[in-house]
Structure 1
């Protein structure tokens, strides 16, 4: 277990330096972040003079002993507890933390950080699998044994048993818990043992390592997880492996110094906000049994080069596609603070208006207060108002996720049904 330093909690688009600010990086931590950024860069932050500036990605970066928690923020509130609750609630709502363990409803975390939440959910999943009994699989094994079992491997038998004629080098089938799924879970448990900084979780990590059968070390890549197939017996492993995938593939060991490893669990707030609004609308439509049909990421082709593939447009949410009452929504995680949307965003909605033959289009933002206002596009020849309207819908943020989702549904439906 790493000795924990006081975590740094900041908001998206904030900066950290080594020479100024209330919370500062050490030179070694900055060097680790610079090395992780590399020449190609990472989307989570940019390098600035003696520091880093975070982008719209939120979540947790662990650098050596230091944990940096980056929270979303869509209004003037500086309440970190509120925004941490908002982030975790949004992640749960879109299904990131949808796990199988029956004890999920009793989940209690001392720090409530996203990183600790991931660790806790993984440990609960493994504990659940151990309680149910680990799945066994058949595997081929080669052994030099005194019993003739399986098929003799003649080349190895002659090589190894020339002076030991009582032995047989054989290949036979074994039915046990030594297989790839358990190797991945065991590797993740060992990773948690090394990088976890929460003392409350460390005893559980140690207990699971004692009870989990020791496994052979394996190299894990994206392809490893893509090749895994689940069946009736192994379906219960899916969520544990999903979290293992996230942890193992986002862990970047410091091979040069060996003490400033980086674990990045970061989420693009624009994509999270898009998914959250879509899930909230879908949930409301199912609850109210409305006649609206909602779809996300509905693409249309709009340009074809002489050679090569076509280009497509893809709005975030389409309601009643291909109907006269079609509506297109595009979500943006930013607070306008009373200003107009950017020309790029308005142009984008104009294209959606045309290509989807939409009755209405809207940009959906988070905000401090509930509001909706609209404007009309101008005729390119005369400059007069056209009948093409683009609205701005602002949705207030609350840390009561269920209430927030109901408010999102109610406000968008109210706007949608206005003539």
Structure 2
């Protein structure tokens, strides 16, 4: 376990510098973040003079022993505990934290950051797998044995056993707990034991390292996880493997110094808001309402080349006269109108989906909407308004996530 440094807590779009501000980056931390940013950049932050400016991504970036926690901000308040709980609740509601699994039903949020929550959830999943018994799989092996089992490998048998007639170099099949799935879980356990700074988790990690059978080292890639077939025996491993994948693929070791590694678990707030609104409407929808997300329609095709498509965030009652299209935006308008680009996009959705109404959905301080009509485009230079409505809906943030989801559904349906 590494020595814990004080957490740095910021909100999206905040700045962290080495030379100003209440919270400051150490020069070595800035160098690490600059190196991690590289030539191609990362979406989580932009580099500024002597510091970084965070974008609309939220979550945690661990730099060495320091955890930088980036929280969402949908209003003018800077209540850390409120927004941390809102973020965790939103992630849970869209399935990022699977709280329905039997192994995580009694998980308690005692964490100082989302990183600790992920670590605890992973520990809980592996503890559950050990209690129910790790699965065995067949694997191919070879080596010298004192009995002839399997098929003999003549070339190696002759080269290694010319003077050892009691031994046989053979290829054979073993049925045990040493296989790639366990190698992934073991590698994630070793990494957590190295980077964890939460003293509450240290003893549980140490116990797991002793109980878990030692595995061969394995090279972690996206393809490795894609090749896993979740049959009946492997299904209970799904949660643990998903967390291991997230941690292992987002860990960037500092190969030069070994003290300023980077682990980035960040979430696009625009995408999370979209999924949260969709989940809220889906949970509380009536039996007569249909709802779909990311419904694609062809929009334009060049004579040669690929087609362009339209893909609104949420469509209610698609293909009917009551069709409504919603597009979610995680931003604060500060009293201004939506951008012309967003309004043009909604107009295209209305035409191509035959929608009765369209709306842009933003987070806000309280629930209210601002309805508007497009100008009549059937006449040239017309100053008359049409009956084609585009509404701007603001959804007030609630601390109680279930109440918030219920109010989102009620407010949108009242507008419809």
- TM-score of the superposition, structure 1-length normalised? 0.97
Q: 8 Å contact 2:103–2:125 — kept in the other structure?
A: no
Matches within 5 A, 1:196-345: 196-285=196-285, 289-345=286-342
Distance in 1 between the 2:361 and 2:195 partners? 39
**Could you say what secondary structure the match of 1:189 adopts?**
helix
Look up the match of 1:65.
65
Distance in 2 between the 1:237 and 1:111 partners? 24
Aligned-pair distance for 1:290? 2.7
Look up the match of 1:393.
393
Look up the match of 1:407.
407
Look up the match of 1:37.
37
Aligned-pair distance for 1:101? 5.0
Look up the match of 2:169.
169
Q: 8 Å contact 2:92–2:99 — kept in the other structure?
A: no
Q: 8 Å contact 2:297–2:309 — kept in the other structure?
A: yes
> Is 2:189 the counterpart of 1:192?
no
**Comparing 375-384 and 342-351, the one that deviates more:** 375-384
Deviations 1:242-292 (A, max 9, x none): 00000000001111222110000000000000000000000001xxx4301
Deviations 1:48-92 (A, max 9, x none): 000000000000000111100000011111110000000000000
Structure 1: segments with no counterpart, 5+ residues: none
- TM-score of the superposition, structure 2-length normalised? 0.98
Look up the match of 1:350.
347
Distance in 2 between the 1:99 and 1:357 partners? 38
Deviations 1:319-353 (A, max 9, x none): 11111111000000112233211111111111111
Aligned length: 413
Look up the match of 1:84.
84
Deviations 1:10-68 (A, max 9, x none): 10000000000000001000000000000100000000000000000000000111100
Distance in 2 between the 1:406 and 1:225 partners? 36
**Comparing 138-147 and 173-182, the one that deviates more:** 138-147
Distance in 2 between the 1:81 and 1:55 partners? 20
Deviations 1:208-249 (A, max 9, x none): 000000000000101111111110011000110000000000
**Could you say what secondary structure the match of 1:391 adopts?**
strand
Distance in 1 between the 2:169 and 2:23 partners? 63
Look up the match of 1:114.
114
Query: RMSD of the alignment, in Å?
Result: 1.1
Distance in 2 between the 1:321 and 1:277 partners? 17
Aligned-pair distance for 1:102? 3.0
Stretches of 4+ moved more than 6 A in 1? none
Aligned-pair distance for 1:149? 1.1
Aligned-pair distance for 1:2? 1.4
**Could you say what secondary structure the match of 1:106 adopts?**
coil
